[in-house]
Structure 1
Amino acid sequence: MPYPFVLPTTSSFSFSSSFTSESHPSLPLQASTHRGVVRDTLKKHKRLPPAAQAPSFSTVAATLQTYLPYLFALDAGLSSKPGHAADDITVILTTAPQIQWRPTVSANPLPGRDPPRTKIASLEYELFFALSTLANTHTLLARTALHPLYQTTTAPVGTAARQTAITTATRHLLDAASIYAHLCARAESLPPTIPPPPCADLDPSTLRAQRALALAEATLLAVLKDDPYPAAVAQARNPHDTEWMYKAPDLPRVRAHLFARLCLAAAEHAAQAAAAAGAVARVDGGFVKYAEDLRRASRARACRFFGIDKELAGETGEGIAWLRAGLGELGVERKGEGKGGGLKGLRKEWSERREDKKVERGLDWGADGGRLEETRVIEMLEAKWVKQNDTMQCQPIPPTGPLLAQMPSGREIHTIKLYQPPLLSPEVLEAMRAPPDGSEEFANHPSSDDETAVAEDSSSSPLGGTYPGRSATGTPGYF
Structure 2
Amino acid sequence: MPYPFVLPTTSSFSFSSSFTCESHPSLPLQASTHRGVVRDTLKKHKRLPPASQAPSLSTVTATLQTYLPYLLALDAALSGKPTPADAPSVTPKTTPQIEWRPTLSSNLLPGREPPRIKLHSLDHELLFALSTLANTHTLQSRAALQPLYQTTTAPVGTTHRQTAISTASRHLLDAASIYDYLSSTPASSPCPCPDISPPTLRAQRALALAEATLLAVLKDDPYPAAVAQARNPHDTEWMYKAPDIPKVRAHLFARLCLAAAEHAAQAAAALSGSGSASSGGKVNEGFVRYVEDLRRASRARACRFFGIDAELGGETGVGIAWLRAGLGEVGVERKGDATKSGGGGGLKGLRKEWSERREDKKVERGLDWGADGGVLEETRVLEMLEAKWVKQNDTMLTQPIPPVGPLLAQMPSGREIHTIKPYQPPVLSPEVLEAMRAPPDRSDEVGNYPSSDEETAVDSVPGAFPGRSAEYRTGTPGYF
Please indicate, yes or no, whether the TM-score normalized by the shorter chain is above 0.5. Answer: yes
Partner of 1:92: 91
Match of 1:346 among 346, 350, 360: 350
- In the TM superposition, what is the alpha-carbon distance from 1:152 to its structure 2 partner? 0.3
Match of 1:431 among 421, 426, 435: 435
1:14–1:444 Cα contact (<8 Å) kept? no
2:340–2:390 Cα contact (<8 Å) kept? no
Structure 2 Cα separation of the partners of residues 300 and 48 of structure 1: 36
Match of 2:215 among 190, 213, 221: 221
Query: Structure 1's 473 and 75: CA in aligned 2 closer, same or farther, altered over 3 A?
Result: same
SS of equivalent residue, structure 1 residue 448: coil
Partner of 1:208: 202
Query: Structure 1's 464 and 65: CA in aligned 2 closer, same or farther, altered over 3 A?
Result: closer
Partner of 1:16: 16
Structure 2 Cα separation of the partners of residues 211 and 333 of structure 1: 33
* Equivalent AA in structure 1 for residue 452 of structure 2: S
Counting only pairs closer than 5 Å after superposition, residues 124-139 of structure 1 correspond to structure 2 as 124-139=123-138
Partner of 1:144: 143
1:2–1:366 Cα contact (<8 Å) kept? yes
Q: Deviations over 1:295-344 (max 9, x none)?
A: 0000000000000000000000000000000000111124669x985221
2:261 corresponds to 1:257? no
Match of 1:241 among 229, 232, 235: 235
Partner of 1:116: 115
* Equivalent AA in structure 1 for residue 197 of structure 2: D
Q: Deviations over 1:207-255 (max 9, x none)?
A: 0000000000000000000000000000001111111122110000000
Structure 1 Cα separation of the partners of residues 451 and 116 of structure 2: 12
Which is further off, 444-453 or 200-209?
A: 444-453
2:11–2:449 Cα contact (<8 Å) kept? no
Runs (5+) with no aligned partner, structure 2 = 276-281, 474-480
Q: Deviations over 1:143-162 (max 9, x none)?
A: 00000000000010100000
SS of equivalent residue, structure 2 residue 118: strand
1:33–1:443 Cα contact (<8 Å) kept? no
Query: Structure 1's 450 and 355: CA in aligned 2 closer, same or farther, altered over 3 A?
Result: closer
Structure 1 Cα separation of the partners of residues 236 and 455 of structure 2: 53
Partner of 1:416: 420
Partner of 2:296: 296
Query: Structure 1's 186 and 87: CA in aligned 2 closer, same or farther, altered over 3 A?
Result: farther
Structure 2 Cα separation of the partners of residues 10 and 110 of structure 1: 20
- In the TM superposition, what is the alpha-carbon distance from 1:69 to its structure 2 partner? 0.4
Structure 1 Cα separation of the partners of residues 312 and 80 of structure 2: 62
Number of aligned residues: 459
Counting only pairs closer than 5 Å after superposition, residues 65-104 of structure 1 correspond to structure 2 as 65-82=65-82, 87-104=86-103
- In the TM superposition, what is the alpha-carbon distance from 1:442 to its structure 2 partner? 5.6
- In the TM superposition, what is the alpha-carbon distance from 1:447 to its structure 2 partner? 3.1
- In the TM superposition, what is the alpha-carbon distance from 1:359 to its structure 2 partner? 0.7
Could you say what the CA RMSD is over the residues aligned between the two structures, in angstroms? Answer: 2.2
TM-score normalised to structure 1 length = 0.92
Structure 1 Cα separation of the partners of residues 373 and 213 of structure 2: 14
Which is further off, 133-142 or 46-55?
A: 46-55
1:154–1:240 Cα contact (<8 Å) kept? yes
Q: Deviations over 1:156-200 (max 9, x none)?
A: 01000000000000000000000000001103xx3xxx3200001
- In the TM superposition, what is the alpha-carbon distance from 1:129 to its structure 2 partner? 0.3
- In the TM superposition, what is the alpha-carbon distance from 1:414 to its structure 2 partner? 0.2
Sequence identity, in percent?
81
TM-score normalised to structure 2 length = 0.92
2:12–2:449 Cα contact (<8 Å) kept? yes
Structure 2 Cα separation of the partners of residues 354 and 149 of structure 1: 17
- In the TM superposition, what is the alpha-carbon distance from 1:446 to its structure 2 partner? 5.0
2:14–2:446 Cα contact (<8 Å) kept? no
- In the TM superposition, what is the alpha-carbon distance from 1:454 to its structure 2 partner? 4.0
Structure 1 Cα separation of the partners of residues 255 and 248 of structure 2: 12
Structure 2 Cα separation of the partners of residues 156 and 343 of structure 1: 31
Structure 2 Cα separation of the partners of residues 417 and 81 of structure 1: 24
Runs (5+) with no aligned partner, structure 1 = none
Structure 1 Cα separation of the partners of residues 452 and 189 of structure 2: 28
2:266 corresponds to 1:266? no
Structure 2 Cα separation of the partners of residues 322 and 465 of structure 1: 75
SS of equivalent residue, structure 1 residue 101: strand
2:43–2:453 Cα contact (<8 Å) kept? no
Query: Structure 1's 439 and 340: CA in aligned 2 closer, same or farther, altered over 3 A?
Result: same
Query: Structure 1's 197 and 422: CA in aligned 2 closer, same or farther, altered over 3 A?
Result: same
Q: Deviations over 1:248-297 (max 9, x none)?
A: 10000000000000000000000111111122221111111000000000
- In the TM superposition, what is the alpha-carbon distance from 1:108 to its structure 2 partner? 1.1
* Equivalent AA in structure 2 for residue 117 of structure 1: R
